[in-house]
Amino acid sequence: MRVPELIQPLLNEYLTLVQRELPDLMIGLYLVGSIALDAFNARYSDIDFTTIVSRPCTEMDVERLARIHHQIATNYPRWPLQGSYLQQHNLGHLGKISPPYPFYSDGALHTKTPHEEDSVTWWILKTIELAIFGPELPPFNVDWDALIEKMHENLNSYWKSFTMNPRRMAWLLTDYGVQWAVLGVLRQFYTFEENDIISKTGAGEYALKHLPVRWHSLIREAINIREQSGETRHKFKIARAIEAVRFLKYVIALCNSESTVVQSGN
């Protein structure tokens, strides 16, 4: 019942194809990301998944999975799948797993490059588990301290690049870029403050209650873009982009300050 009706046909076809083409491979299919957080956005969300497999994937498995993903992408181009094919003993693992396991991203099934799962994915799998098919996942540990450390690294590398890298900064001239960056960095702010994970829109709404009024117009703009509600509050995109850079610098500095580095819990 938590899976949006719009994407149920896609998931049904994916599940049918995998079970038909590789009947002994899949143990379970679990959704993470925005769907698990009850925040699926038909305009911007990917379909993030974790498929638990019974054994390491062979070359033949990979060939068949690639064909399956190609068919799904052809039939349902609006909502890209993104996820991994893991064994149960990989759950909660930090760092790159060797030998590499297949993961599907940006329209391609990657098999040669070791992939590192996001700690947030582990947290969602453990605490919110949304199974489309398969049993309840076995217990596994999620290191919250490591999650927070990785999130700080991400804050000061990827998100900071939107204030320094010309290519990233140019992205802020677009509606998509503004909602992605403003709400993305606010998700991290929320986690540092509340020791919890939240959706992008939820992070924006939280920030409206906890950050100074001077930033509210930009935050509401990002929420409106993502939710396709309300009118733009900025007539000139260059001015909005400049404001977004200032906002990102402010939030990054705030998250790095002693007052917002929350002691780990749970």
Are residues 178 and 75 part of one domain? no
Are residues 116 and 48 part of one domain? yes
Are residues 19 and 108 part of one domain? yes
| Mean pLDDT, the chain, whole residue set | 90
In whole angstroms, what is the distance from residue 97 CA to residue 113 CA?
10
Are residues 166 and 63 part of one domain? no
Are residues 148 and 47 part of one domain? no
- Per the listing, tokens 């409206």 go with 208
pLDDT per residue over 112-163, tens digit each?
877 788 888 899 999 988 999 999 999 999 889 989 999 999 999 999 999 9
Domain total in the chain: 2
Secondary structure (3-state) at 149: helix
Are residues 57 and 115 part of one domain? yes
Query: Which residues partner with 83 through β-bridges?
Result: 49, 104
Domain around 84 = 5-133
What is the token pair recorded at 109? 């099934």
pTM of the predicted model as reported, rounded to 2 decimal places: 0.85
